[in-house]
Amino acid sequence: MTTRGGDGAGTTEERASRPAPLAMVVGPTRLAPSVRGRLADQAPPITDHRFLAEVRETMQLLRPVLGTAEGEVFIVPGSGTAGMESLAVSLLDPGRPALVLSTGMWGERWQELCSSLGLSSRVLRAEPGRGLDLDEVASRLRDESYQAVLLTDVDSSSGVRADVAALTALARRHGALSLVDGIAAAGAEEVRQDDWDVDAYLTSPPKALSGPGGLFLVSLRTRALRVLIERTWSPRGYSLDLGRWLPVMRALAAGGFAYFQTPPGSLVSALAESLRLIVAEGGERTRRHTALAARLRNGLATTGLRLFTAAADRAHGVTVFRTPTGIGAAELVAAVERHGVVLQAGTHPTAAKHTVRIGHLGNHTADDVDRTLAALGAALAEFDVPDG
Ligand SMILES: *Cc1c(COP(=O)(O)O)cnc(C)c1O
């Protein structure tokens, strides 16, 4: 790895005295000091009654964030991707196809993980930067019988927020379960699992929940639970099988204890703290994300940058814009970083090289947005590009 000119340059002392850049990234997002504090604590014994009470509290705190009174909540060790795999392993019958509704790289991931697990899936792709065409989804669901649709609430590669309620309703009409990846949504967007009739909703802490990486969070409603309990096929996994976690989570919810795998105590404690902050912020949290998104996008428009995402389909915690003609995403990101702000080059399957992602989900402020715009403006001024 080269250190020339980058953040790693210079002596250790020089590096330590340099101000940390502002990370405007999709994840991991900035942790509140009280959340960081919990990470440093000694993990309690897993049978400790205070710890068990905190696990129960965490399960309860997730309900308003996911918009569910009915769902059974799971807190499981693993990355967000492990959470996607867990839903597939636990709920998909290897003998029947599922339909992936893809709005970017995370749809491709659904498809890839299904195929590597030997689960059959088909993919319907939205136009880049747009939501899914509901008529097309309906026609696919009419053409073939699917056990489930797999979708992404907010796809961070395209900046698209799906119309989850409409897609779930279509799935329901055709007898398919809905499994939703809400990893870049919950905590930034309003999520209403019960009202939207979503069977399985997944999220993970290090994105808009401003929590620690290393856990994934699932809420299953009745139909998904029924599949889990009544399935006759064998799941293609062990640690990630929610069928094995169900008795543990039920024991914990009832105030008891059951063991399947050692829970990472510090992570659970830090997650509990981040959820307390989110629940205390209440409805102001989604309003703040909406306001920051508008502030950022107005500023980008003033700078002459065009968004990748169609106006009707934009998420509120991530903004994806096109680089000006002649400037690649990686070189623009590097230039902005020299002005103290970390952005991320694109990851959309067809537009990665010419799009840049800005994450403004979690604990960001208007000042962070203004610093981002200033750094971008300064970086763009270094390129020799025609006006417009
Ligand atoms: C980040 C992300 C994931 C993957 O999470 P990891 O913890 O990196 O595995 C999945 N889906 C979406 C929408 C994401 O933003």
Lowest mean pLDDT among 13-22, 64-73, 347-356: 13-22
Contact 236, 89 (CB under 8 A): yes
- Per-residue pLDDT tens over the stretch 106-147: 999 999 999 999 999 999 999 999 999 999 999 999 999 999
Question: Does residue 256 have a pLDDT over 90?
Answer: yes
pLDDT recorded at residue 8: 53
- CB 80 less than 6 A from any atom of ligand 1: yes
pLDDT classification of 20: cutoffs 50, 70, 90: confident
Phi, psi at 233, each rounded to 5°: -85, 160
- CB 309 less than 6 A from any atom of ligand 1: no
CA of 314 relative to ligand 1 center, distance in Å: 18
Question: Does residue 4 have a pLDDT over 50?
Answer: no
- CB 176 less than 6 A from any atom of ligand 1: no
CA of 81 relative to ligand 1 center, distance in Å: 6
- CB 153 less than 6 A from any atom of ligand 1: no
pTM for this entry: 0.95
- Per-residue pLDDT tens over the stretch 269-286: 999 999 999 999 999 999
Index of the ligand 1 atom closest to the CA of residue 106: 11
- CB 266 less than 6 A from any atom of ligand 1: no
Nearest to 202 by CA among 83, 286, 109, 85: 83
- CB 273 less than 6 A from any atom of ligand 1: no
Q: For 292-317, what is the mean pLDDT?
A: 98
Q: What is the average pLDDT value for the chain, to the nearest integer?
A: 95
- Per-residue pLDDT tens over the stretch 183-239: 999 999 999 999 999 999 999 999 999 999 999 999 999 999 999 999 999 999 999
Q: For 66-84, what is the mean pLDDT?
A: 98
Q: Residue 21 and residue 171: Cα distance in Å, rounded?
A: 44
Pick the residue whose CA is nearest to atom 15 on ligand 1: 184
CA of 213 relative to ligand 1 center, distance in Å: 10
pLDDT classification of 388: cutoffs 50, 70, 90: very low
Q: Residue 212 and residue 70: Cα distance in Å, rounded?
A: 26
Index of the ligand 1 atom closest to the CA of residue 83: 9
Instruction: State CA 34 to chain mean position distance.
Output: 22
**Is 322 one of the annotated binding-site residues?**
no
pLDDT recorded at residue 15: 64
Index of the ligand 1 atom closest to the CA of residue 185: 13
- CB 140 less than 6 A from any atom of ligand 1: no
Taking CA atoms, 211 is separated from 34, 37, 268, in Å, by 11, 12, 9
Alpha helices by DSSP H, listed for 71-148, are 80-91, 105-116, 134-143
Q: Tokens 């096929």 — which residue?
A: 233
CA of 200 relative to ligand 1 center, distance in Å: 16
- CB 207 less than 6 A from any atom of ligand 1: yes
CA of 105 relative to ligand 1 center, distance in Å: 10
Question: Does residue 3 have a pLDDT over 80?
Answer: no
Give me the amino acid identity at 19: P
